A and B are shown apart, each in its own frame.
Chain A
Amino acid sequence: MTDHDPIEGTTDEELARRARAGSGRSFDELARRYKRRLFVYLRPRVGSDEDAEDLVQETFLKLYRSIDSYDPAFRFSTWLYTSAGRLAIDAYRRNAASRDKLAAESAAELPDPASDHDRDPRLSGLWAAARGLGADRFRALWLRYGEDLSIEEIAAVLGRTKLAVRILLHRARTSLMKTAGPSPARTVAPAKAADVRGARSG
């Protein structure tokens, strides 16, 4: 893929529309854009990195098979995160019997966000602190500030009421301020807008 590839600047919704029309390349591009974002979103809900990777793969598989049902009038990210959330619930139910065992194993084998934070300097800052707030609060923060979804869209993705989402976000912000501290000096300096756009598309 070259730097001048027109697919780079195409919106998610347009790519999804093309994928619906049969373009496998468009779907691959969508998967490339959302792979890490979906991983970050799903990771707090599952026991391990491997489970999160499997769930990302499963989500794209499901989306690929049901791409005909996508309505381009709605944002692609809303559809994606809703499907991913449902799959995560299914996976949780499937693994209910062996959940305790898996949790114990993953706790023993895998580093928790706090230890990631200590070891990897790139994981310092607000998002790393947000990961420590619990899956629900992190997901709400991610959808609101990481994906720029509206309260209505977050409510649709999480299957909650708008009021419940607002309360969740309020609590998440309050906890985040307590955890990370109010001073911007403790966090990574905001990157340029171009970097942000680049990361959103990547």
Chain B
Amino acid sequence: MTKEGRTTMRCFFARRAISRAEDRGTKRPRWVERHAGRCGSCGEYARFTASLKARLAGERPAFLAAVPDFPLDEAAWAASVDREIQVRAPGRRYVLRPLPAAAGAFVVLAAGLVLLLVVLREAPPSPKDRTAALAALKSFAAAPDRLPGVVTEAEFSLEKERRILEKQLSSAVEYLQARLNIKIERRDPPAKST
């Protein structure tokens, strides 16, 4: 509730709501109307805000009329555009100079060559490669007992890479501990639920 001569948090929100309704051109919420009816200062703010548009529009002509008149140099606008055209005009003549033209042509040629080489290098697999890949697949299909051996070999490579990464990480942690004088504890991952 609002006490005489004091604004409360409710007043703050009510005035914000009054302003919001004014800015959006919407109706004020009913609680705001009720509050403005009870609270003198918020009621004044509501009336002031509601009357502001008409009052400022009414005072606008007198306010503008009080501004001292001053001349504008209309001729300067056209003159500036003319000057700009004159300044720009010589620049619009395109001249093909031999050296930059040759350099440009060389760059375009080099780019074309690079593009061609990349495209050739990344050409689709030849029929020979395709036949070899199919033969390998067929051999796995014919002798499935060889498959575990291949999988173990792949897993061994991955395990080796994991160990290398772990080693690098621990040396990085050691460096950080020494450098920043902090202690970093290793937290083991949670056990997998079965």
A associates with B: yes
Residues of A within 8 A of B (CB): 24, 27-28, 31, 35-37, 39-40, 49, 53, 56-57, 60-61, 64-65, 120, 122-123, 125-128, 130, 141, 145-146, 151, 166, 169-170, 173-174, 176-177, 182, 184, 187-191, 195-196, 198-200, 202
Say whether A39 contacts B72, CB under 8 Å: no
Q: Counting CB contacts under 8 A, is B62 at the interface? A: yes
Residues of B within 8 A of A (CB): 15-16, 19-20, 22-24, 44-45, 47-49, 51-70, 72-74, 76-78, 80-81, 84
B19's nearest neighbour on chain A, judged by CB, is A170
Say whether A174 contacts B52, CB under 8 Å: no
Assuming the contacts A120-B66, A188-B58, asked whether A182 and B47 have C-beta atoms less than 8 A apart, the reply is yes
CB-defined A-B contacts under 8 Å, sample of 28? A27-B77, A36-B64, A57-B73, A61-B77, A61-B80, A64-B78, A64-B80, A64-B81, A122-B63, A123-B63, A125-B59, A126-B55, A126-B56, A151-B23, A151-B24, A173-B19, A173-B52, A182-B47, A184-B51, A187-B59, A188-B58, A195-B61, A196-B60, A196-B61, A198-B61, A199-B64, A200-B60, A202-B64
A170 to B55, CA, bound (A): 17
In the A-B complex, the 10 residue pairs with the closest CB atoms: A190-B58, A199-B61, A64-B77, A127-B63, A170-B19, A145-B56, A122-B66, A182-B44, A125-B59, A182-B48
A40 to B60, CA, bound (A): 11
Using Cβ atoms and an 8 Å threshold, which residues of chain B touch A39?
67, 70
Shortest distance between the CB of A167 and any CB in chain B (Å): 9
- Which DSSP category, helix, strand, loop or mixed, fits chain A's interface? helix
A188 to B58, CA, bound (A): 8
Say whether B57 contacts A65, CB under 8 Å: no
Q: Which one of B16, B58, B68, B78 has the greatest number of beta carbons of chain A within 10 Å? A: B58
Assuming the contacts A24-B78, A57-B73, asked whether A199 and B60 have C-beta atoms less than 8 A apart, the reply is yes
Say whether B59 contacts A127, CB under 8 Å: yes
A130 to B26, CA, bound (A): 25
Assuming the contacts A173-B52, A177-B44, asked whether A145 and B19 have C-beta atoms less than 8 A apart, the reply is no
Using Cβ atoms and an 8 Å threshold, which residues of chain B touch A126?
52, 55-56, 59
Using Cβ atoms and an 8 Å threshold, which residues of chain B touch A130?
56
Using Cβ atoms and an 8 Å threshold, which residues of chain B touch A202?
64
B64 interface neighbour in A37, A141, A176, Cβ under 8 Å: A37
Further contacts, 5 of them, CB under 8 A, given A127-B56, A173-B52, A199-B65: A57-B73, A61-B77, A128-B63, A196-B57, A196-B60
